[in-house]
């Protein structure tokens, strides 16, 4: 793979917003292998600023934390849940150099039904579920990097 686009836009082709998820390198566990060496986040904003004639490219992200210390036994995929402070998202600014690649999250289904409201769409799924599978089957590179 030569390159990958990670998007964060307020309107995707005139419709709902698109906020891609990413793998971020874990600086606390540099020697760890697989998913233990990664964090998962959703990108809300790309921006840069200049200080002392040096430009710093950054992203504003929402963090997701792993549930447990190993993948789910039934699916073989890690489960993550959004980091919250009270009822609000835990947001942080990171340098673009820490982003490894895009990540794909799939909701962990509960016992309830999805809303039938027409305003419920894909853009609300990351705010509507309590936990998510980190999809290692999305492509070869995700499987090699994260598992």
Instruction: Place 68 in a pLDDT band, splitting at 50, 70 and 90.
Output: confident
- For 39, other C-beta atoms within 10 Å of its C-beta total 24
State the virtual CA torsion across 18, 21, 22, 23 in degrees, nearest 10: 180
**pLDDT tops 60 at residue 1:** no
- Span of 30-39, 86-95, 104-113, 124-133 with lowest mean pLDDT: 30-39
Question: What residue spans define the domains of the chain?
Answer: 8-146
Q: What is the pLDDT of residues 7-52, one digit of tens each?
A: 888 888 888 888 999 999 876 666 667 777 888 999 999 999 999 9
Q: Which CATH class is domain 8-146?
A: mainly beta
- CA–CA distance from 8 to each of 16, 43, 60, 136 (Å)? 11, 6, 10, 22
């Amino acid at each position: 793979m030569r390159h990958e686009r990670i998007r964060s836009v307020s309107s995707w082709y005139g419709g709902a917003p698109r906020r891609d998820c990413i793998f971020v390198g874990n600086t606390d566990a540099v020697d760890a292998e697989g998913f233990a060496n990664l964090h998962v986040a959703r990108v809300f904003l790309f921006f840069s600023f200049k200080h002392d004639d040096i430009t710093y490219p950054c992203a504003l992200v929402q963090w997701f934390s792993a549930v447990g210390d190993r993948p789910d036994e039934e699916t073989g995929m890690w489960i993550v849940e959004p980091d919250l402070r009270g009822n609000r998202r835990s947001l942080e600014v990171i340098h673009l150099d820490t982003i490894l690649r895009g990540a794909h999250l799939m909701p962990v289904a509960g016992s309830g039904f999805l809303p039938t409201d027409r305003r419920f769409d894909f853009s609300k799924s990351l705010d509507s579920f309590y936990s998510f599978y980190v999809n290692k089957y999305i492509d070869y590179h995700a499987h090699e990097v994260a598992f």
